Amino acid sequence: MTEERTVPADARPRLARGVRLTSSAAHGGPVLLAPERILKLDPVAADILGRCDGSATMTELVDALASLYQAPRERIAGDVATLLRALADKHLVDL
């Protein structure tokens, strides 16, 4: 069984230093660039990361996404936390 790892509600996610979100014609869409790394993103992940500038709390981020995608808040919260925690573990996002 895997342990669920959450992101605190008051966390203000942002891209880590040296990491940027951009579009790449060579990769066919949005990518996350980091030193010696590139991660191709789907449009939803790119939308989430585009909002991670350190100004919004996790709660505010989830509320905005739940409203935009008209999806249950609990589902959005879980999906966003999973994405951000995985990227934080790779030192691509600061929580």
Residue in the structure block whose two tokens are 């880590």: 16
pLDDT in tens, 35-81: 999 999 999 999 999 999 999 999 999 999 999 999 999 999 999 99
Residues listed for the chain: 95
What is the rounded average pLDDT for all residues in the chain? 93
Taken in order of first residue, the domains within the chain and their CATH numbers are 14-94 (1.10.10.1150)
How far apart are the C-alpha atoms of 92 and 16, rounded to whole Å? 5
Across 16-45, average pLDDT:
95
What does the pLDDT read at residue 46? 97
What does the pLDDT read at residue 3? 41
